[in-house]
Amino acid sequence: MKQKAFKIFISILAFIIFTNASCTPEDQNIVYFNVKNSSSDTIYIKSDFSVLENRVICIAPNTTSNIKEGSFQDGEEDYKFKSLYNWTEADIFVYIYSKDSVLLKTWNKFYTDTYEKQFFRENDWEYKQYSKPNDNDYKYHDYTFEILPEDLNLK
C-alpha cells in the first residue's frame, strides 16, 4: 500500500513539474527610474510620495542615481511611468536641496501644465526600451530625469 501511495505521489509531482516547465512564461517588463545630476554641485532629493518617503537621495555632480525599479506585465504599458508614484491621486512634491540644506527646486505632481520642466510629466524624462542579449523574456525600460543647473537656478 505504501508503495502505491509513493508511486501516486511521484506521478503527481512529475505532472506538476512537467506542466509548469512546459508553460510559456508571460513577458516581463522591468522599469528603472533614474535621476541624473548634470550640475556641478551635489544635490539631495526628498519627496513625500512612497518612492522617496523617509529617504533622502544624494546625487554627486555629473552622476546618475536609480530611485526606483519595478516590473509590469505586457498590456500594462499605460502604467509603466505612473508606477513611479504608484498612481496616487494625492498632491505630491519632489524637493531638491543643496548640500547646505538650501531648497533649490520644488516640483508638484498637479502643476504639469507649465512650459517648465516637470518631474511628474513623462515627456520630460528620457525614455529607452531594450532587451539584453540572451535574455529575450524580459524587456527593460529606463526613464532618466536630468537635472540641469538652470533647473536649479545655479550658474
pLDDT at 23: 43
Q: What are phi and psi of 117, to 5 degrees?
A: -60, 135
- The pLDDT tens digits along the chain (155 residues) read 656 555 565 555 555 555 444 444 455 788 889 999 999 999 999 887 666 666 788 999 999 999 888 777 666 666 677 777 665 566 788 899 999 999 999 988 877 677 888 988 889 999 998 877 776 667 788 999 999 999 997 65
- For residue 91, the SS3 value is coil
- DSSP label at 22? H
C-alpha distance from residue 59 to each of 94, 113, 144, 147, 148 (Å): 14, 27, 13, 10, 13
pLDDT at 20: 47
> What are 76's three cell numbers?
500594462
The whole-model pTM stands at: 0.74
pLDDT at 103: 94
pLDDT at 21: 43
pLDDT at 144: 96
Element (H, E) at 29: strand 28-37
Sheet with 93-98: strands ordered across: 57-59, 43-47, 93-98, 103-108
